[in-house]
Amino acid sequence: MNWFHKLKGFQRSAPGLEWALWRRLPALLLWGTALPALASLLVHLMAPDTPTPGDERALRLMDYMLIGVVVLDWTLVLTLLIGCAIVIVMKGPAYVADPYPPPGREPLE
């Protein structure tokens, strides 16, 4: 049973910005996670050996801000992924549903 019937004569749209973004999403996710992690590591390495309570508070605040940057990056990448997937599907081949004649009308062959 074939559920999908492609529309005859349909021409696919040319690929656009969605494919360029789609290919860059893994790199955006990787760099958006690695750079804040590297910044956090550097901040912790540069911290004094015996931190004062103010230094500990500043380190914790920096960690929270960098976690927020990573979560923001993940959300932006997820949003771009969803948008690209929608555009790719919409530019794909067109499908035709099975005809459903209204009551009182002859079915088309």
Residue 78 included in any domain: yes
How many domains does one find in the chain?
1
Nearest to 12 by CA among 98, 99, 87: 87
Tokens of 74: 């993940």
Residue 34 included in any domain: no
Residue 106 included in any domain: no
CA distance 106 to 38: 70
Q: Structural domain of residue 60, as residue ranges?
A: 54-96
Quote the DSSP letter at residue 107: P
Residue 62 included in any domain: yes
Residue 26 included in any domain: no
At residue 14, the pLDDT reads: 85
> What does the chain come to in residues?
109
Residues 59-75 pLDDT 10s: 999 999 999 999 999 99
Residue 72 included in any domain: yes
Residues 22-38 pLDDT 10s: 999 999 999 999 999 99
